[in-house]
Structure 1
Amino acid sequence: MATQEVSGIAPPEQYVLPATKYCPNNKMPVLVYRDVLPSPRTPETAQAWIEKHGWFRAGILWPAVYRRHFHPNVHECYAIVSGSSEVLMGVGKFDDTESASSKQDDQPGLCLTLREGDVIVHPAGTGHSNISDEGNYRYLSFFPEGSPKWITENGDKPLDELTGVLDMIVQVPMPQDPVTGDKGHLVPIWGAVES
């Protein structure tokens, strides 16, 4: 679904990732906002900006995390405050994946480059991990206000062995947009999928 600019912020890139044997993903797309964090780009300014839109910081100023994982009970947002990273989206630990140099279309997973100033929103159940980083890559992680403590699954068990995971994913409530606040781009994009 195409959306128009909201508060001077261009619509995000959208990526729908199908379920794999080890990663449920979500029918709602991953959203990537390019170069939107305010200047100066510091952990403090990024945190203040995202938190005013109803998402709250979780954890440290994170370096690259190379372990494939997903959270079935929460949506998550990353604000990239320095450096860049290649990220692999949409796969679990035991899924065979496309390598960065491969062009096979039948392999699961999506490789994206995230850079300082970018914000990525991945819906509950979406697999994510870093595969390379440079320039002192650091990001902040946020969850919507009222979210429970996140559960981490590594994608090391087939989905049919993860009792309740799919039910958990569909019960995660619609958040407001972490970049523009209120409905922003996220609500009409994800809402169109839900309806």
Structure 2
Amino acid sequence: MPNNVLPVHLSRAALRGRTPAQIEQHLAECGWTNAWRNGIYRFHHYHSTAHEVLVIACGQAHLTLGGEGGSRMQVGEGDVLLLPAGTGHRNDGSSADLLVIGAYAGGREWDLCRPGGTDVEEARQRIARVPGWDRGPVG
């Protein structure tokens, strides 16, 4: 897992009480676009071409960040998690009502990289080329 020298940012309950449409609009106003609605994969993965924001619109989840043996955390409604490109993440279990809104800094296209299935050195080169974000997803 390449991860990133930039830290993960977690803003607890920052967007609590907003509808999915309101969350997507807020993210777009902050420059986080190419949004989707779903859950979080139950396998370790990362994105080497984009910084990703995950907003828990509904429900809760237990996550592992950084790959096998990484940091574990619980997230719930309204929590906003900013994952710099290369940051490993996995859903270790979630409520049945989990709904996540994801988006990418500058609307960048994302890839799906898995440990053992992606050349890590090539991924690190892609990660190094990902531009920073102009504005955080919380505002």
Match of 2:75 in 1: 114
User: Which of residues 105, 108, 117 is equivalent to 1:144?
Assistant: 105
What's the CA shift for 1:162? 3.4
CA contact (8 A) 1:90 1:128 kept: yes
How many pairs align?
Answer: 138
CA distance in 2, matches of 1:146, 1:33: 21
Match of 1:190 in 2: none
Report matched runs for 1:153-192 at 5 Å.
153-157=113-117, 161-175=119-133, 176-180=135-139
What's the CA shift for 1:135? 5.1
**SS state at 1:87 partner:** strand
Match of 2:42 in 1: 66
CA distance in 2, matches of 1:71, 1:84: 22
**1:81-119 CA deviation, whole Å, 9 max, x = no partner?**
00000011111xxxxx4xxxxxxxxxx301111100000
Question: Normalising by the residue count of structure 1, what TM-score does the alignment of the two structures yield?
Answer: 0.66
**1:166-193 CA deviation, whole Å, 9 max, x = no partner?**
111111111021111xxxxxxxxxxxxx
CA contact (8 A) 1:79 1:120 kept: yes
CA distance in 1, matches of 2:97, 2:8: 24
* Percent identical residues: 28
Match of 1:189 in 2: none
CA distance in 1, matches of 2:19, 2:74: 20
Structure 2 runs not aligned, ≥5 long: none
Q: Which has the higher contact order (CA 8 A, sep 6+)?
A: 2
**1:147-168 CA deviation, whole Å, 9 max, x = no partner?**
2x211111124x7x43421111
**SS state at 2:95 partner:** strand
Structure 1 runs not aligned, ≥5 long: 1-22, 92-96, 98-107, 181-195
Report matched runs for 1:8-23 at 5 Å.
23=1
Aligned CA distance change for structure 1 residues 64 and 177 (closer, same or farther; 3 Å): closer
What's the CA shift for 1:134? 1.3
CA distance in 1, matches of 2:93, 2:27: 25
Aligned-residue Cα RMSD (Å) equals 1.6
Larger radius of gyration: 1
CA contact (8 A) 1:57 1:140 kept: no
